[in-house]
Amino acid sequence: MTDEIQLKEEIIKIQIFKKRDNNEDNSSAYFIAEYLVYLFADKVIFTNENQRKIMLNQFPIDVKNLVLNKSEVRMHPTLPNKYYQITESNLKLDDNYINIAYFGKDYYSKRHFESLFYAVGALNHKFKYRINVYLYLSEEKLLDRLLPSDNFIIKKPLDYLEFLNVTTKYDVLIVNDINTNDNFELNPYLPSKLSDYLGSGSDIWALYEDRSVLSEFNLKYKSNINDYDACLTQLVKILDDYGFKDENYSINQNYLNNRLTFSMNCTKMNIIPNVI
């Protein structure tokens, strides 16, 4: 089949589809742009297998065989070490503490830290004060109302090259999935931050969703983003691993209910989106 004949056939498919389903979203620029890539790209790259499966299964025109024959799965690249040293940050961290960091931009209902907030807030541990969690996010005023303790420090997002350098200075880096249970059969996202973290040399703590691609990585610390107790267990493990063991630590069993009540009240007052 020549390219010209194939193009004519694909245009006919678009016309038939638009007559059959006059949905504005399906005939939008997004649909056309995606379709043109599938038709004419020499190679289509997906960052993970879940993404490829979801995108091809949900596309309103059957392009699965066409795309599978010229696509590959390739996660975001991890840069060589020299890129982590281009911009030297003046960040100074106290080595007497376990310094944990999350790098992002926005805080919203599909990507939140309630399990982490619970873990820190509910833990009674004689060395809990040794934990510092730095959140590089833009919503400082919003997060000030949500933080459960003084263990959290909010900082402004960094430029990319400084961010790369700073990742090498922290003990543990947090990467988290987006909650997609209500939208997709499988989580189609793989956080690009993971690739950046993998080149830092720091330990990584993944807050993952069930059956996500992130959940399959062999990382030092992992907990389900919706399993609050698992998150707390990993926090205790981090304390143990960094030499701050407390055999008599305990958990405030009432904290979760208090936290849920607080979160729901904040949601009703439009302080935060619904994260529970």
- Which CATH number does the domain housing residue 210 bear? 3.40.50.2000
- Angle (CA) 94 97 101, round 5°: 85
pTM: 0.85
Do 67 and 87 have their domain in common?
no
Any domain includes 256: yes
Any domain includes 273: no
Q: How confident is the model at residue 91 (pLDDT cuts 50, 70, 90)?
A: very high
Which pLDDT value is given to residue 124? 96
In this model, does residue 16 exceed pLDDT 70? no
Which pLDDT value is given to residue 31? 85
Could you give the CA distance from residue 160 to residue 158 in angstroms, rounded to a whole number? 6
Any domain includes 16: yes
Do 65 and 86 have their domain in common?
no
175 touches 193 (CB < 8 A): yes
Any domain includes 275: no
Any domain includes 107: yes
Do 153 and 251 have their domain in common?
yes
Could you give the CA distance from residue 124 to residue 115 in angstroms, rounded to a whole number? 16
In this model, does residue 24 exceed pLDDT 80? no
Please give the residue range of the domain that contains residue 10. 3-73
Burial of 241 (0-12, 13-18, 19+ CB in 10 A): middle
Any domain includes 274: no
In this model, does residue 238 exceed pLDDT 90? yes
Do 14 and 130 have their domain in common?
no
Query: Mean pLDDT in the chain?
Result: 86
Any domain includes 263: yes
Do 63 and 97 have their domain in common?
no
Number of domains in the chain: 2
Any domain includes 48: yes
- Which tokens go with 44? 């289509």
In this model, does residue 274 exceed pLDDT 60? no
Do 201 and 232 have their domain in common?
yes
Last residue of a domain, one of 73, 100, 130: 73
How many Å is the maximal CA-CA distance in the chain?
Answer: 74
Do 207 and 243 have their domain in common?
yes
102 versus 23: which is more confidently predicted?
A: 102
Which pLDDT value is given to residue 104? 87
Which pLDDT value is given to residue 14? 57
Do 257 and 124 have their domain in common?
yes
Q: How confident is the model at residue 92 (pLDDT cuts 50, 70, 90)?
A: very high
Which pLDDT value is given to residue 276? 39
Q: How confident is the model at residue 253 (pLDDT cuts 50, 70, 90)?
A: confident
In this model, does residue 15 exceed pLDDT 70? no
Which pLDDT value is given to residue 267? 46
